């Protein structure tokens, strides 16, 4: 199963009213992604860290707001060069399009990750 999953904030965990102006205006929470992350964490399917190009403090604020009951680590995407090669990311960007995603073993879009984890959870329920 997955080891460590790096979850992007903007346009992944939350969707801004105007994606070209993040941090301004209203946003919607990606409840589907948050639900499968919590279920996966509860079943020890993976470890999660929250990271953002908005910086470590911003990632911390989002991690604490959306995952209060979990003590998730949080990072700035500026630390991308420290990511181990065997990790996975969930991001609204394609791996080939962003230098900070190059080292990841696999990069899922939010819907792909939701479907993947839901499938793994169904497999576990059959056992």
Where in the chain are the domains?
Answer: 4-126
Q: Which residue in this structure is represented by tokens 């279920």?
A: 39
- pLDDT tens for 44-91 read 999 999 999 999 999 999 999 999 999 999 999 999 999 988 899 999
Q: Say what the pLDDT of residue 51 is.
A: 96
Mean pLDDT of 21-25: 83
pLDDT category of residue 113 using cuts at 50, 70 and 90: very high
The percent of residues above 70 in pLDDT, for the chain, comes to 98
Count of residues making up the chain: 127
Q: What is the CATH number of domain 4-126?
A: 3.40.50.1000
| Joined tokens for residue 13 | 């965990």
What distance in Å separates the CA atoms of residue 7 and residue 48, rounded to the nearest whole number? 7
Q: Say what the pLDDT of residue 21 is.
A: 83
Q: 92 in the Ramachandran plot: left (φ > 0), alpha (ψ -120 to 50) or beta?
A: alpha
Q: Say what the pLDDT of residue 111 is.
A: 97
């Amino acid at each position: 199963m997955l080891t460590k999953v790096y979850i992007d904030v903007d346009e992944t965990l939350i969707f801004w009213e105007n994606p070209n102006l993040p941090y301004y205006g209203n946003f919607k929470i990606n409840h589907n992604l948050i639900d499968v992350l919590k279920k996966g964490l509860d079943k020890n399917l993976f470890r999660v860290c929250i990271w953002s190009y908005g910086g470590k403090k911003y990632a911390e604020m989002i991690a604490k707001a959306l995952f209060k009951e979990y003590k998730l680590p949080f990072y700035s995407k500026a630390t991308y060069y420290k990511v181990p090669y065997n990790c996975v990311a969930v991001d609204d960007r394609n791996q080939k399009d962003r230098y900070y995603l190059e080292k990841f073993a696999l990069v899922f879009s939010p819907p792909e990750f939701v479907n993947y984890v839901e499938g793994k959870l169904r497999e576990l329920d059959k056992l």
